[in-house]
Amino acid sequence: MNKKITSAIIIIAIIVAMVGIIFAEQVIPKEIYAQYGILVIIVPVIILVIVLVVIGSVLGKNSTKEKTPKLEDRRTEITHELKEAEKKFLRHKIDKATFDSISKRNNSELISIESDIDSQKKQTLNETDTKKLEGMSRDKQIILKGLLEQKQKKVHELKIAEKSYLKRKIDEKIYRQLNSKINEEIISIDGKIKAIQETEKIKQLEAELKNGAKEISKQQKSTEKRKKQLTEIEMIEEDLVSQLN
């Protein structure tokens, strides 16, 4: 379910619950309230909240489903455009430069759309990327997860571009250009990921150093305490010996 829709449902549910309880207390007859107690107020409110959650869940699923058909429609349009451009080129109605320009633009968009469609269907990080989120603050996890998903999409784009090239849907020149562009984007994403990870590592090291310093301080205090105790014992022993003498 979409996060915005979920948040909206939770807020609406809380408001409805509060208003429902206040309204119910005023409307429900005292005899019924005395017989069933607070349940007569809580049960209808819970049912209403469940209904709202179900409606929100359906809306969330529908909003996700709407995106995929739009992408698939666009994919179909681009495929037809490419076929028409190829026909015109073969009939010498457009020159090679024009055909190459159309082919490059449409195939670049087509590869990106294919990647978007696959990403929406998958929508999960692999085990290696999921482990990278461990031990991070909540805010950093959200940012890092978004970056990892972007990287996953770009890596998938590279694979689709390679398949398109091997199937001769795009020529070597277009493939090299796409490969270069996508790899630049991946490098940029990797830089951001490492920056976040390094920040978290520094924070972790600082925390470890602070804990280490506290432990050393405790040990020093404990050692000083033992020394003091030993000194006191020695003084008592000396005093006893002198008294015995």
Alpha carbon distance 108, 115 (integer Å)? 11
Q: Please give the average pLDDT of every successive group of 10 residues along the chain, which has 245 residues.
A: 58 63 58 58 66 64 57 90 91 90 86 83 71 76 86 90 86 87 92 84 65 63 63 62 60
Burial tier of 237 (Cβ tally within 10 Å: 0-12, 13-18, 19+): exposed
User: What is the rounded end-to-end Cα distance, in angstroms, of the chain?
Assistant: 89
Burial tier of 140 (Cβ tally within 10 Å: 0-12, 13-18, 19+): middle
Q: What pLDDT does residue 188 have?
A: 92
Q: What pLDDT does residue 14 have?
A: 64
Q: Residue ranges of the domains in the chain?
A: 136-245
Q: What pLDDT does residue 77 have?
A: 92
Q: What pLDDT does residue 222 have?
A: 66
Q: What pLDDT does residue 152 have?
A: 87
